[in-house]
Structure 1
Amino acid sequence: MEKETESEAETHIDIKPPPPPIFADVKPLKNHPTQEHPPILLSFFSSGSSRRRRRRGDTWVVSVFVILHAVAFAATMFVNDCWHNSNEDCAVSALGRFSFQHFSENPLLGPSDSTLDEVGALRRKFLTENHQTWRLFAFPCLHAGLIHLIINLGSVVFIGIHLEMEFGPFRVGIIYVLSAFAGTLVAALFVQNRPVVGSSGPLYGLIGAAISELIWNWRMYTDKFAALGSLFVVFTINLVLGFLPYVNNFASIGGFIAGILLGSVLLFSHQISQVPQNKGALFEYSVKSSIKSKLRQKIHWSALRSVTLILFCLLFAGCLVAFLRGIDMNKYCNWCQYVDCVPTEGWRCDDRVTSCEAMVSNAELTLTCMSNGNFRVFPFTNVSDARMNDLCNVIC
């Protein structure tokens, strides 16, 4: 009986599982070094990344600017009216009133000097003698010709759509407008007495902002060098275009600097990752240390953005004050004219006054340049004084 009782007692013994580890209920920290997750890398120009993206219908700011520029160019060519003002001696004459001046006069397939003056191009005398400050607002809206229009607006669409889909229309619109005015002020300090337009200023503002955003968020992208290469190609093409007549490179330089500074302020997307709450007492110190590190990092980036904003304000205010005081930077920098122009047989970069002697005989007009003796015979006589000055500039 005793043996049976002992065996029966042994069969009723409950074997409990071993106790769980002390820290079994503690979830590992998300940002703990041993549990660190690899960052999500994105493609810079991809529209399908996992970051916040707008619908294509929301990218309306760039579309509005493109339409305004196209309308402004159409209005410029309407005013130019080569078919009538140049006695049908035009390039692509099939366009009639909207046909272009010959390549010898405008190599970018655009209007004449006098037309650009009429619609709002910059000249030094317009600002210093006539005080036509309204030209500062028309200047960034004008294009020198059809070639300039296509390359410029194509670049704006390529870069602007990406920035607007990524950061929204409000910030991109601010960068575009402020870069345009900053570029205009810089151009006004270097402009000479030949007509120039500055629609490349806001474009270079977008290029500068895109480069700034790429550098600030360098670790987020997989194709950063390819993106830099694409931006460099756009930068170079438009810069080379600026050496041709009528396109102002100083507006591009001013817009580019403004874009870099504004991009650092408005497009910097560094975000402080949230540290998950944890009840593990032994991890409390790590959580607090991580929070302090994130806060210090946030204060650091905020300080840098504040400094960048101050630099932009100083640049803008300094250029504005210099313009209001009528400062001509060409007096202090003789070589600066070559930043905006490359002298060729077709045009010169130095500031000069041209004059021609006109002779009418047998329904023909003969213009002779007084400075170099060049002359040309035209099969018409009924031209305006402004148009005669255009022809004189071509001959001289």
Structure 2
Amino acid sequence: RKRGRKIGVDRVLSRALHRDKRQYGRGLVGRWLNRTLKRNRLNSSVRQQLDTFDNHRPYFTYWITFVHIVVTIISIAVFGIAPVGFMYSTEIFHVSYNFWLGKFNTVTFKEPQNFWIGPRTKDLIHLGAKYSPCMRLDPKLNEFIQKERAIERSSACCVRNDNSGCIQSNECHYVFAKFVKWPEIDPPEFNNGTTITTRTSGSVCGQDPRYCRSQHEVGTADQWPDDITKWPICSDPLPKEDFKNSTYDNVRCNVVGHPCCIGQEARCEIVTKEYCKYKHGVYHSEAALCSQVNCMQDTCGLIPFRVPEYPDQIYRLWLPVLLHAGILHCLVSVVFQMTVLRDMEKLAGWHRISIIYIFSGITGNLASAIFLPYRAEVGPAGSHFGVLACLFVEVFQSWQLLKSPSRGLFKLVAITIVLFVIGALPWIDNFAHIFGFISGLLLAFVFLPYMTFSRFYQHRKRLLVITCSCLFVGLFVALVFFFYIHPITECSACRHINCIPFKEGFCSNHGFRPEDR
């Protein structure tokens, strides 16, 4: 019995640790596509080279697949699952929105669905999705923010006549409320350095330099400017009793609206807490103005920006490689990696395949950030197409060994074209596919093991390695240039590359431009 148990354990261990010899030029995908080798080409020199190829264990495949599964489970457990579908889901709710008339309005909230069965888009951004406005100062969003601040600069406190509340606004219904606009009504003094005048920008509901201790007896350098959009939050206000007993309407009123950061494009509105909750926004009860909050930081999450006004989360180029949009998305990755990636790693080894996998993913995400700046993307799409490119390079480098290399190449091309066509459907990032494939092709020529049939082949391989290395560096530098230095703001042809509009609304706003304010 002991002898039988020992033999059984040995069999299990030998089976678990067994390494099937991978056939160069064929592999798993080659067997699927009925690719065969020439017998008459396998001379002694070629056979010796084939015998020297080490059959590596797929450590990187197992590691990255394990990370993908664990991260997907944790992200769904923490953030939940978004409405499932291909378009948008719309929520309708009734909330007190008309401040002056006190009426309940019907308000709709629209958000993108997730057919991968996973978290909402805003949650994926918090997890580290590729999203350009979190990685650089986006020119279009910054233009929106500056226009909104110019509008806020002319706002003032609107106080209802029945003393039921007040809210910061640019319009005020004079029949039902009082518009406390400086300098017409109770303006505080302002020292411009030469003379003492009255303030013209304001007022602000719940905040006044006369009721902030830090503004008492300070020099002109520490004085709040005569521009409410440059006011900080008062860190040391007077007691609440002083506010209630004040004779100034903007100070003693009950503030019912505060800044709320809504959506994923740094949009800020001064609304009630109830309205902000229904809009799935971030409510800032500590602030009085939208200029006092950083909605872009609320949208992005993760590590705070080094300079608050300038997003700098460059690590979003590689974090999406570890993330997935949902259960189905992760399942597709696991199937691909446990078959194609695992087989390719047996040939190349964990160090070579990890370089191709990671840098193809980073390059694909960088291209996607350029051409689809306003769409959050996660997943190793670029990495997978980089590995797919390795299959092409293996055919090229074993061309002399294959019976019908052109037929094998044609089959790979047909499969790749089908995958790119699928990438033209909504919510699939074709730019990550294209540039991941290109970078994977260049890196595969550099890092994949190869056969030499003569000294000419050896010299040609060295030249090819140098050329492909330079081309990859040049491609990456060019992408960095068009992302940071000279951003591409308009590309009408790019829309049809990433999403083909089979019907009206099929490709509506899939990351090409920010939403209208």
Same-fold call, TM cutoff 0.5:
yes
Mapped to 1, the partners of 2:76 and 2:328 lie a distance apart of 13
The 3 A distance-change label for structure 1 pair 354 and 68 is: farther
* CA-based RMSD: 3.2
Q: Which residue of 2 aligns with 1:111?
A: 119
1:336 is aligned to 2:494? yes
Q: Which residue of 2 aligns with 1:300?
A: 460
Look up the equivalent residue of 1:255 and give its one-letter code: G
- Bigger radius of gyration among the two: 1
Mapped to 1, the partners of 2:493 and 2:373 lie a distance apart of 13
Look up the equivalent residue of 1:205 and give its one-letter code: G
Q: Which residue of 2 aligns with 1:373?
A: none
Q: TM-score, normalised by structure 1?
A: 0.61
How many residues matched?
276
Look up the equivalent residue of 1:156 and give its one-letter code: Q
Query: Where do 1:31-70 residues align within 5 Å?
Result: 43-45=26-28, 51-52=50-51, 58-70=57-69
SS at match of 2:479: helix
Residue 482 of structure 2 is aligned with which of 300, 314, 322?
322
For structure 2, the residue ranges without an aligned partner over 5 or more in a row are: 1-22, 32-36, 38-46, 86-110, 138-310
The 3 A distance-change label for structure 1 pair 300 and 54 is: closer
How many Å apart are 1:157 and its aligned residue?
A: 2.7
Look up the equivalent residue of 1:169 and give its one-letter code: W
1:73 is aligned to 2:72? yes
Note the alpha carbon deviations across 1:163-183, whole angstroms, 9 max, x for none.
111222221111111111211
Query: Where do 1:140-219 residues align within 5 Å?
Result: 140-219=321-400
The 3 A distance-change label for structure 1 pair 169 and 214 is: same
SS at match of 1:219: coil
Q: Which residue of 2 aligns with 1:248?
A: 429
How many Å apart are 1:43 and its aligned residue?
A: 3.3
Mapped to 1, the partners of 2:358 and 2:327 lie a distance apart of 23
The 3 A distance-change label for structure 1 pair 271 and 138 is: same
Contact 1:42 1:222 in 2 (8 A): no
Q: Could you tell which deviates more after superposition, 228-237 or 261-270?
A: 228-237
For structure 1, the residue ranges without an aligned partner over 5 or more in a row are: 1-39, 92-102, 273-293, 356-396
Q: Could you tell which deviates more after superposition, 238-247 or 190-199?
A: 238-247
The 3 A distance-change label for structure 1 pair 263 and 42 is: closer
Contact 1:44 1:221 in 2 (8 A): no
How many Å apart are 1:217 and its aligned residue?
A: 1.6
Residue 515 of structure 2 is aligned with which of 344, 348, 353?
353
Contact 2:358 2:383 in 1 (8 A): yes
Q: Could you tell which deviates more after superposition, 242-251 or 161-170?
A: 242-251
Look up the equivalent residue of 1:105 and give its one-letter code: Q
The 3 A distance-change label for structure 1 pair 234 and 138 is: farther
The 3 A distance-change label for structure 1 pair 62 and 211 is: same
Contact 2:499 2:507 in 1 (8 A): no
Look up the equivalent residue of 1:265 and give its one-letter code: V
Query: Where do 1:199-278 residues align within 5 Å?
Result: 199-222=380-403, 224=405, 227-228=408-409, 231-232=412-413, 235-236=416-417, 238-272=419-453
Mapped to 2, the partners of 1:164 and 1:122 lie a distance apart of 27
The 3 A distance-change label for structure 1 pair 223 and 107 is: farther
Mapped to 2, the partners of 1:185 and 1:104 lie a distance apart of 23
Q: TM-score, normalised by structure 2?
A: 0.47
The 3 A distance-change label for structure 1 pair 113 and 297 is: closer
The 3 A distance-change label for structure 1 pair 200 and 298 is: same
Contact 2:84 2:113 in 1 (8 A): no
How many Å apart are 1:208 and its aligned residue?
A: 0.9
Note the alpha carbon deviations across 1:300-323, whole angstroms, 9 max, x for none.
321122112211121122222333
Look up the equivalent residue of 1:261 and give its one-letter code: L
SS at match of 1:271: coil
Structure with greater helix percent = 1
Note the alpha carbon deviations across 1:324-357, whole angstroms, 9 max, x for none.
32x33342x21202222234546514524167xx
How many Å apart are 1:241 and its aligned residue?
A: 4.6
Q: Which residue of 2 aligns with 1:124?
A: 132
How many Å apart are 1:244 and its aligned residue?
A: 4.3
Mapped to 1, the partners of 2:494 and 2:396 lie a distance apart of 29
Contact 1:126 1:132 in 2 (8 A): yes
